[in-house]
Amino acid sequence: MKYIKFIALNLVVLLGCSVMLQAQNNYKNWSDIIRKSDASWFATPEAQNIAENVLLYQRNIGGWPKNIEMQKTLSDSEKQRLIALKSNLHDITTDNGATYQEMLFLAKIYKQKPDERYKKAFLSGLDYLLEAQFDNGGWPQFYPLKKGYYTHITYNDDSMFHILTILKQISETSDYYGIPIPQDYVSKAKVAFDKGIICIVKTQYKQNGVLTAWCAQHDENTLTPAKARAYELPSLSGKESAKIVLLLMTIDNPSPEVITAVKSAYAWFEKTKITNLEEKRILNNAGKVIDKKMIVTQNALPIWARFMELENNEPFFCDRDGVKKKSLDEIGAERKNGYAWYTDEPKEVLKKYPNWEKKYAFEKSEKKKIEDKNTITVAQDGSGDFKLIQDAINATKAFPYERVTIHIKNGTYYEKIRIPEFNNNISIIGESKEKTIITYDDYFGKMNLGRNSTFYTYTMLVEGNDFSASNLTIQNSSGDIGQAVALSIMGDRAYVFNCNILGNQDTLYASGNNSRQYFKDCYIEGTTDFIFGKATVLFENCQIHSIKNSYITAASTPEGKEFGFVFKNCTLTADKNATQVYLGRPWRIYAKTVFIECKMGSHILPQGWENWSKPEAEKTAFYAEYNCSGEGYKPEKRVLWAHQLSKKQAKKYTSENVLGFEAQRGKETK
């Protein structure tokens, strides 16, 4: 009987141990233990045993090595080895959550069991973080510095995010999960945090002059995107950038620079999200990923590539050979299945941004009643009524009786602007043509809306009548990648003075039913058909610049219209590699284009005009010149179906006749 009781007692003990082990197994990894939400668990003997390991693994300099499962039982010999390593300065890091996780664990257990050793170890860790910071505000991956890419400023695996999160809480609360922080540490933490934010702002990557996101690591001297491992090339990171922005969004009363950083990154996340792919993982019996497939799916939840090209945001993938591939299927199974190539982390940015924007981005504009103002100022630094041009347009009264003038201070405004038909009588005035830049980068292939995708690619679309613009640069920055409109004007009586209109193919779309437009003292550049449309347009004293061999104009003048595109006193120039440029070709067969007293560079082809494989257009189109000059003006060699105007004929091309209204109106935009 006693023997049976003994067996039963042992079974109970074994069952109890089994239950305890099963509970422990719910947290197999060190990172899982850190995230335990049950505060009372940190008062258990189990937690205290782990804390002893954490103390043993900490080096005298204050930091910890990475990838240590702190919860594993240590033998006596292992403990002695760790004691011997205390003064060793190798492999101490903040990578993969190291140091941050141990500090967080110590703070949580101190709150339940206030052992002074935990507090001392935490403060030693804080000393380590403060010492490791570069003067420019960033942190290396390893400190003391380890040769190689490890010296770069590292956002990889959210290292700097975790460091700054600790410093932020300390600087704001003088406390970290229950550990009281001495005041001198609080002050140091505040300084270090502010330096870190400055570093983040300075390292945000500019793509064609527009702020975007961050690389996983940046050169510690130049602050430019930098390479890490062979398959971690300089790129824009869809993963690491998310936590950076979320951190910036937690800052109370953010500076204009931080606000701009957040808004720019948000726009980049919106632009680069992928909604037609889903990742499918194939697992073996042990739950290990043995294959990944990207499946084309309509209306999929948004994901982002972890690595995107610095120039154009295109996703890429690398094997250990460091050779870029365009799809996940092109790399070997080891890297394909053993690395996170896509992420959904930016979804939190998109989710939280509207409330952040309402609180900070428009705080000033919400306080001002501007609905009935006739003068509005847009400034990125918050000194105006709005920080975004589109917001200013949206706030103007529909069909105003008096002209509304929107002054835009210098800055690069990455915006896709639309001025609707009901927002007429608007003037947009930049602070300077060179430094007030409105830019966006949509193009035909990116829009992917069918054969008419060109018309959706605009940077600025003007549908309202009586529009005027001056002292601006309006740019489509997508590059030489197909049809990409910078400025599209559909409204009537439009005035554009002293502006740069920049792009490649289809830079300026001048269209609209019965639309009349006047461009004066402007610089317009592009590649193919970069001035096109059916509007009646007078270009006066403008520089028309060809980037490569192609066509300047592609008019689609409606049948019966007396005037189409008219260029007066303009200068036609070109890049060095552009040596064979046509004045125009007919997009539609009744096209009308005339050059009067213009100076033409040698890049203009002797024949001047081309029929676009439409022989019938030679009878219906009207292409003409009068009294032009320069090496490109060769009237005797023009195609036979083009015209040279007589002096009498040229006289009818006055601004009043062409436009039907006084072209000097709009002087207030100068």
Q: Using only C-alpha atoms, what is the Rg of the chain?
A: 33
Q: Which amino acid is at 651?
A: K
Strands (E), 311-459: 317-318, 324-325, 342-343, 375-378, 404-408, 411-414, 417-419, 426-430, 436-440
Question: Residue 279 pairs with which residues in a beta bridge?
Answer: 294
What are the structure tokens assigned to 222, written together? Answer: 């130049």
Q: Which residues contact 663 (CB under 8 A, 6 or more apart)?
A: 495, 518, 520, 538, 540, 655, 656
pTM for the full model? Answer: 0.55
DSSP state of 609: B
Any idea what the Cα angle at residue 596 is, between residues 594 and 600, rounded to 5°?
A: 95
Q: Which residues contact 56 (CB under 8 A, 6 or more apart)?
A: 74, 79, 82, 83
| Predicted pLDDT at 102 | 97
Q: What is the mean pLDDT of residues 543-562?
A: 97
Confidence of residue 362 (pLDDT cuts 50, 70, 90): low
Confidence of residue 286 (pLDDT cuts 50, 70, 90): confident
Q: Is the pLDDT of residue 304 over 50?
A: yes
| Predicted pLDDT at 660 | 85
Please indicate whether residue 21 or residue 274 has the higher confidence score (pLDDT). 274
* Distance separating alpha carbons of residues 305 and 312, to the nearest angstrom: 13
User: Is 506 known to be catalytic?
Assistant: yes
Question: Residue 71 pairs with which residues in a beta bridge?
Answer: none
φ, ψ of residue 478 in degrees (nearest 5) = -70, -20
Give which of 125, 67, 68 is closest to 100, Cα–Cα: 125
The residues of the chain that CATH labels 1.50.10.20 are: 26-203
Q: Which residues contact 636 (CB under 8 A, 6 or more apart)?
A: none
| Range 461-470 burial, b when 16+ CB lie within 10 A, else e | bbbbbbbbbb
* Distance separating alpha carbons of residues 467 and 370, to the nearest angstrom: 20
Q: What is the mean pLDDT of residues 34-50?
A: 91
Name the active-site residue from 321, 521, 529, 575: 529
Neighbours of 142 (CB within 10 A): 24
What are the structure tokens assigned to 524, written together? Answer: 């317009």
Q: Are strands 582-584 and 304-305 parallel, antiparallel or unpaired?
A: unpaired
Q: Which residues contact 607 (CB under 8 A, 6 or more apart)?
A: 582, 637, 638, 639
Instruction: State in words which class domain 410-669 has.
Output: mainly beta
Q: Which residues contact 161 (CB under 8 A, 6 or more apart)?
A: 155, 240, 243, 244, 246, 247
Contact 388, 428 (CB under 8 A): no
Contact 526, 507 (CB under 8 A): yes
Q: Which residues contact 330 (CB under 8 A, 6 or more apart)?
A: 317
Q: What is the mean pLDDT of residues 494-500?
A: 97
Q: What is the mean pLDDT of residues 480-505?
A: 97
Q: Is the pLDDT of residue 324 over 50?
A: yes
Name the active-site residue from 319, 385, 441, 506: 506
Alpha-carbon torsion (307, 313, 315, 320), positive or negative: negative
| Predicted pLDDT at 281 | 87
Any idea what the Cα angle at residue 541 is, between residues 657 and 477, rounded to 5°?
A: 110
User: Which of 13-27, 270-284, 422-436 is modeled with the greatest confidence?
Assistant: 422-436
Q: Which residues contact 426 (CB under 8 A, 6 or more apart)?
A: 393, 396, 403, 404, 405, 406, 419, 464, 466, 467, 468
* Distance separating alpha carbons of residues 45 and 23, to the nearest angstrom: 14
Q: How far is CA 53 from CA 84, 166, 288, in A?
A: 14, 22, 29
User: Is 575 known to be catalytic?
Assistant: no
Give which of 157, 131, 148 is closest to 216, Cα–Cα: 157
Q: Is the pLDDT of residue 347 over 70?
A: yes
Contact 138, 220 (CB under 8 A): yes
The tens digit of pLDDT for each residue in 327-338 reads 999 999 999 898
Q: What is the mean pLDDT of residues 478-486?
A: 95
**Is 239 in a helix, a strand, or coil?**
coil
| Predicted pLDDT at 24 | 40
The pLDDT mean for the chain works out to: 91
CA 126 from chain centre, in angstroms, equals 33
Neighbours of 53 (CB within 10 A): 21
Confidence of residue 350 (pLDDT cuts 50, 70, 90): very high
* Distance separating alpha carbons of residues 563 and 517, to the nearest angstrom: 12
Q: Is the pLDDT of residue 26 over 60?
A: no
Give which of 563, 572, 580, 578 is closest to 623, Cα–Cα: 563
Contact 67, 95 (CB under 8 A): no
Confidence of residue 146 (pLDDT cuts 50, 70, 90): very high
Q: What is the mean pLDDT of residues 475-489?
A: 95
The tens digit of pLDDT for each residue in 365-377 reads 443 445 557 899 9
The tens digit of pLDDT for each residue in 438-472 reads 999 899 998 888 899 999 999 999 999 999 999 99
The residues of the chain that CATH labels 2.160.20.10 are: 410-669
Q: What is the mean pLDDT of residues 583-611?
A: 98
Look-up: residue for tokens 């608007």? 426
Contact 228, 217 (CB under 8 A): yes
| Predicted pLDDT at 370 | 52
Angle between helices 240-248 and 159-173 in degrees, nearest 10? 20
Q: How far is CA 511 from CA 251, 281, 391, 480, 494, in A?
A: 46, 50, 25, 23, 11
| Range 543-562 burial, b when 16+ CB lie within 10 A, else e | bbbbbbbbbbbbbbbeeeee
The tens digit of pLDDT for each residue in 400-428 reads 989 999 999 999 998 999 999 999 999 99
Q: How far is CA 60 from CA 79, 125, 602, in A?
A: 15, 9, 74
* Distance separating alpha carbons of residues 424 and 421, to the nearest angstrom: 6
Please indicate whether residue 385 or residue 59 has the higher confidence score (pLDDT). 59
Q: Is the pLDDT of residue 129 over 50?
A: yes
Any idea what the Cα angle at residue 101 is, between residues 99 and 107, rounded to 5°?
A: 100
**Residue 365 Rama label (left phi>0; alpha psi -120 to 50; beta):** alpha
CATH of 26-203 given 3.30.9.10, 3.40.50.620, 1.50.10.20, 3.30.499.10: 1.50.10.20
**Residue 632 Rama label (left phi>0; alpha psi -120 to 50; beta):** alpha
| Predicted pLDDT at 467 | 97
Give which of 456, 492, 460, 455 is closest to 475, Cα–Cα: 460
